[in-house]
Chains A and B, each alone.
Chain A
Amino acid sequence: MGQIQLNQVTKSFGSVEVIPPLDLTIEDGEFCVFVGPSGCGKSTLLRLIAGLEDVSSGMISIDGADATQTPPAKRGLAMVFQSYALYPHMSVRKNIAFPMKMAGIDQAEQNRRIDAAAKALNLTDYLDRRPGQLSGGQRQRVAIGRAIVREPAAFLFDEPLSNLDAALRVGMRLEISELHERLATTMIYVTHDQVEAMTMADKIVVLRAGVIEQVGSPLDLYNRPDNLFVAGFIGSPKMNFIEGPEAAKYGAHTIGIRPEHIDVTDASGPWSGKVGVAEHLGSDTFLHVHDTGLAETITVRAPGEVQLHYGDAIHMSPRAELMHRFDANGLRMA
């Protein structure tokens, strides 16, 4: 069980309102990702749910019961911190045992859960080591192990992968996703990385300045962004935005077209320009095209290897049916 509901929740630090009134429901068993640029209030929101910060007004309920004034330990939530927050003077075993020790669970049950968690997280060989002797990925797993053994109603992750190198991040991403499939427990995950959000989430909550810009499944957000902010934030490389007469042709203030929805064509394409930097990834080629007369740069994603280099003139044609139209306020049109 782990349904979490926020009702008109606000948070102010002094006179600064970090989170204006906000409503959100996270269903039981859902993998929900809060994503947004740094300083958008996503970590604050997580800390409000955890109970590490008090809400200024509004109500937080967990499984239908009001938990607004419940102390963090009693909410039945487990949190994995960005810095892992392992206890440096305790062995891995003692770190994992700590929440159970605090809860007064008997020793045999503690050992059973520690062994199960260690096995699931490949930590069996490291149980007697100190956190200082572990690598970043192992520390991360210990932190997750400490969260698992509590058998919480929901897991809260605060940018857990941001201290890892790129290769490990991909690996841990998969491990956390697998863990979610296996445990089927609610998980709330905060990140500024839209790739993590897209790959892991059942539901993405895009935040900007404490305001929810859009809530939806990864592909909803990709296919039908509600506004310019979401359109620009979700998807990599970023969506191209074109204003002015070209947009007016489509009856919009701004049109957005994703790099993968622009085809490189011979001389017949409606748009033309000069290739700036071409990034050859093997599977794809990202072309940054200048001098189009539309926007400063148009990014094009061409599949496979494309023999285009700096200074080459090219023609492009956008797929009109995959174009996004936005009005003067940056909101999606129909």
Chain B
Amino acid sequence: MATQHSRSAARLMMAPAVVLLLGWMLVPLTMTLYFSFKRYLPLRGGDLGWVGFENYTRFVTSSAFWPSIQTTLLIVGGVLVITVVLGVLLAILLNQPMWGQGVVRILVIAPFFVMPTVSALVWKNMFMDPNYGLLAHLWKFFGAAPVEWLSQASLPSIILIVSWQWLPFATLILLTAIQSLDGEQLEAAEMDGAPAYKRFGYITLPHLGRAITVVILIQTIFLLSIFAEIFVTTGGAFGTKTLSYLIFQRVLESQNVGLGSAGGVYAIILANIVAIFLMRIVGKNLDA
């Protein structure tokens, strides 16, 4: 009886949080769906009635749609590759006993604490500016013409900025994973005649499999919706318009809430496709 009672009491006490979370999720979702079937132009007549699936067809047939999907996937993929590869290497490096280990670890994590907007501004103005940026000075020092990063190499630049932000996250997770690796396993492999790079390939990397899975899953979820970095640097120009940026433009710049909402529904679908896809590929790693 006691367990029964405490269970129903627990349900009762959890209810407000559940209702709040559910409302938090359901209200915007319902509103998005609602607006996506309407012609709604706030500055040009407001609510102009139901239009069926017109917004959906207009959104996908727009010339900006497929390039934005491509850009989104390129940024997500690029950042994932960079953060996972460098994250593994940094984690191995930070796992070595060295002087000032604690300070170095905190420094490595630091970029994660910088707000996306701020870090994008810092990169744009302090590093990538073709006149007075640090990279321009470096190029000039070697006698080369400074690169106009954000217009000539806009996509790689944004991938660089975002990678810089997310590298600490990947490093941190992979470092904790690498610390749980049994040192005797590496010693056994050493005695078995495996040189350092094979010990990495056969022992360390498989041990990190699960942590890499977690990093990829979490980062993908957040990277699909990156916005601030693009808004602050290129404003969506030079082929850096992602799906979320396109939606932003439809709603705020074109003042077409209906069209933007339809895009939002597509974004939800895309996120789910990617999520299912990832779960299928890497989810196996989580079972073992």
Contact = CB atoms under 8 A, between A and B. Distances in A.
Contacts, number: 56
Contact of A77 (B182, B191, B207, B288): B191
Interface stretch (B53-61, B107-115, B198-206): B198-206
Contacts of A81: 184, 187-188
A83 B186 CA distance: 12
A170 to B, nearest CB: 25
A137 interface: no
Contact of B192 (A73, A88, A89): A73
Interface stretch (A13-21, A97-105, A217-225, A291-299): A97-105
A108 B206 CA distance: 26
Interface string A81-116: 111011111000000001100110000000000000
A51 B192 CA distance: 12
A89 B207 contact: yes
A73 B188 contact: no
B193 A99 contact: yes
Given A87-B203, A89-B209, A98-B202, A72 B184 contact: no
B82 interface: no
Given A81-B184, A82-B184, A87 B191 contact: no
Interface in B166-217: 182, 184-185, 187-194, 198, 202-203, 206-207, 209
Contacts of A82: 184
A36 B111 CA distance: 51
A150 interface: yes
Nearest to B187: A52
B193 A85 contact: no
B191 A78 contact: yes
A143 to B, nearest CB: 8
A78 B190 CA distance: 10
Contacts of B190: 52, 72-73
A52 B191 contact: yes
Nearest to A132: B288
A85 B184 contact: yes
Interface in B268-285: none
A83 B182 CA distance: 9
B192 A146 contact: yes
A62 interface: no
A73 B209 CA distance: 27
Given A73-B193, A99-B192, A102-B192, A85 B198 contact: no
A45 interface: no
Interface in A42-85: 50-52, 72-73, 77-79, 81-83, 85
Nearest to A82: B184
Given A79-B191, A102-B193, A85 B209 contact: no
Contacts of B209: 89
Given A85-B182, A87-B202, A89-B206, A79 B188 contact: yes
Given A89-B207, A102-B194, A102-B198, A83 B189 contact: no
A51 B188 CA distance: 12
A85 B190 CA distance: 11
A140 to B, nearest CB: 13
Interface string A186-213: 0000000000000000000000000000
Interface in B236-288: 288
A87 B182 CA distance: 10
A203 B184 CA distance: 27
A50 B191 contact: yes
A87 B185 contact: yes
A79 B192 CA distance: 9
Contacts of B185: 85-87
Contacts of B192: 73, 98-99, 102, 146, 150
A103 B193 contact: yes
Most chain B CB within a 10 A radius of its CB, from A51, A83, A85, A88? A85
Central interface residue in B190, B192, B194, B288, by most chain A CB within 10 Å: B192
A78 B191 CA distance: 7
A82 B194 CA distance: 20
A146 B194 CA distance: 14
A35 B203 CA distance: 32
B191 A72 contact: yes
B62 to A, nearest CB: 47
A79 B189 CA distance: 10
Nearest to A152: B191
Interface of A: 50-52, 72-73, 77-79, 81-83, 85-89, 98-99, 102-103, 146, 150
Closest 9 A-B residue pairs measured CB to CB?
A: A99-B192, A73-B193, A85-B188, A85-B184, A102-B193, A89-B206, A81-B184, A85-B185, A102-B194
30 contacts: A52-B187, A52-B191, A72-B187, A72-B190, A72-B191, A73-B191, A73-B193, A73-B194, A79-B188, A79-B191, A81-B187, A81-B188, A83-B184, A85-B182, A85-B185, A85-B187, A85-B188, A86-B185, A87-B202, A87-B203, A89-B206, A89-B209, A98-B192, A98-B202, A99-B191, A102-B192, A102-B193, A102-B194, A146-B188, A146-B192
Given A99-B192, A146-B188, A146-B192, 10 more contacts: A52-B191, A78-B191, A83-B182, A85-B187, A85-B188, A87-B185, A87-B203, A99-B191, A102-B198, A103-B193
